[in-house]
Amino acid sequence: MRVLFMGTPEFAAASLRALTEAGHTVCGVFTQPDRPKNRGHKLTASPVKEYALSRGLPVFQPLTLRDPDTLERIRTLAPELVVVAAYGKILPEAVLQIPLYGCVNVHSSLLPAYRGAAPVNWAILRGETRTGVTIMYMAKELDAGDIILQRQTEIGPQEDALSLTNRLAVIGAEALLQAVSAIAAGTAPRFAQDPERVTYAPLLSKDLSPVDWTRSAREIHCQIRGLYPWPCATTDAIGGETLKLFASEVTGEKTGLPPGTVTDTGKDGIGVACGDGTVLRVTELQARGKKRMSAASYLLGHPVSVGIL
């Protein structure tokens, strides 16, 4: 099938790679403009652009999909199908009407749950134990189109948003190939989403970062996992300086200490009392201006007082 692909991060690159290796004709690749990255602010290409260029695919990086020149370019490319995966732009109705077989999206949740920009993060933040990928026809309303197929997977108790996204990228790429084959054969089903089950996954912000230790150990554990790699959970309850928290363990240990109190320190990490009367053990963290490290390594140079001061 003649496919126009739109995507930006590594999650999307997995789907582009699958389409290309399966022999589909990728007539063009749309991705976000190069962005400044790291302290040097060097312009950096997206993973999708890097892969497309490595395969000699034509790459386009328009600032908007609404201008007449971009719409005409899409028409000239003459795609039979548009595939979108984490592109970062909303497709206007004019684009949706161009391809013969419509536009499909690879979405990293089990729709209608977690429509929006950060479905993987919010599934973890809200304590879900399973999630998945949905391949759907795109509609005017965001993430509201008919479902073609879904693939489910369990969320590991220690799995963070980055590792889960990487795993869903592979699942999504495999599901996409199955959906495209069904579309080409005229056998792709369409299941309307249940409006009563819709939930949303809005953009993340640093306002979500500060840890409230009056919450349960499991809720804070989900916060730490769900906000990695950005914006990261933070606390100033350990040693009096603001720390980013990268990994933790729900111990089940009971404590009578007030929430936010350091209960113990050692090679296994830093225990902190939570609002449900149990201990959460922080195992990986980062101090301002330092690299990510184990909590045990942090303790070597930063003694932390235990108990109520």
Residue 256: is it exposed, middle or buried by C-beta count within 10 angstroms (0-12/13-18/19+)? exposed
* pLDDT-based confidence at residue 240 (cuts at 50, 70, 90): confident
Confidence of residue 201 (pLDDT cuts 50, 70, 90): very high
Average pLDDT across the chain, whole number: 96
Mean pLDDT, rounded, for 39-44: 77
Range 206-301: architecture per CATH:
Roll (3.10)
Per-residue pLDDT band for 39 (boundaries 50, 70, 90) equals low
Q: Is the pLDDT of residue 213 over 70?
A: yes
Summarised one tens digit per residue, pLDDT across range 74-101 is: 999 999 999 999 999 999 999 999 999 9
Question: Measured between alpha carbons, how far is 150 from 179 in angstroms, rounded to an integer?
Answer: 10
Measured distance between the N- and C-terminal CA atoms of the chain, rounded to whole angstroms = 67
Residue 229 has a pLDDT of 97
Q: What is the 3-state secondary structure (H, E, C) of the chain?
A: CEEEEEECCHHHHHHHHHHHHCCCEEEEEECCCCEEECCCCEEECCHHHHHHHHCCCCEECCCCCCCHHHHHHHHHHCCCEEEEECCCCCCCHHHHCCCCCCEEEEECCCCCCCEECCHHHHHHHCCCCEEEEEEEECCCCCCCCCEEEEEEEECCCCCCHHHHHHHHHHHHHHHHHHHHHHHHHCCCCCECCCHHHCCEECCCCHHHCECCCCCCHHHHHHHHHHCCCCCCEEECCCCCCCEEEEEEEEEEEECCCCCCCEEEEECCEEEEECCCCEEEEEEEEEECCCCCEEHHHHHHHCCCCCCCC
pTM for this model (two decimals):
0.95
Q: What is the pLDDT of residues 165-184, one digit of tens each?
A: 999 999 999 999 999 999 99
List, in sequence order, every residue forming a beta bridge with 105; answer none if it has no partner.
Answer: 84, 136
pLDDT digits (tens, 9 = 90+) for 129-155: 999 999 999 999 999 999 999 999 999
The stretch 113-136 carries a mean pLDDT of 98
Angle between helix axes 10-21 and 161-185 (nearest 10 degrees) is 30
pLDDT for position 270: 97
Q: Token pair for residue 137?
A: 């026809």
Structure confidence by residue, pLDDT tens digits, 23-33: 999 999 999 99
Task: Domain ranges for the chain, please list them.
Answer: 2-201, 206-301
Tell me, what's the pLDDT at 137? Answer: 98
What mean pLDDT do residues 107-121 have?
98
Q: Are 245 and 234 in contact (CB under 8 A)?
A: yes
Question: Is the fold of 2-201 the same as that of 206-301?
Answer: no
Q: Please answer whether residues 276 and 284 qualify as being in contact, where contact means their C-beta atoms are separated by less than 8 angstroms.
A: no
Confidence bin at 40 (pLDDT 50/70/90): low
Specify whether domain 2-201 bears CATH 3.40.50.170: yes
309 pLDDT band, cuts 50/70/90, is low
Choose among 229, 232, 256, 258: nearest CA to 243: 232
Instruction: With cut-offs at 50, 70 and 90, classify the pLDDT of residue 292.
Output: very high
Residue 199 burial by Cβ neighbours in a 10 Å radius (0-12, 13-18, 19+): middle
pLDDT band for position 293 (cuts 50, 70, 90): very high
**pLDDT value, residue 263:** 97
Q: Which residues pair with 239 in a beta bridge?
A: none
pLDDT score at 308: 76
37 has a pLDDT exceeding 90: no
The answer, yes or no, to whether residue 264 has pLDDT greater than 70, is yes
Q: What is the pLDDT of residues 42-69, one digit of tens each?
A: 889 999 999 999 999 999 999 999 999 9
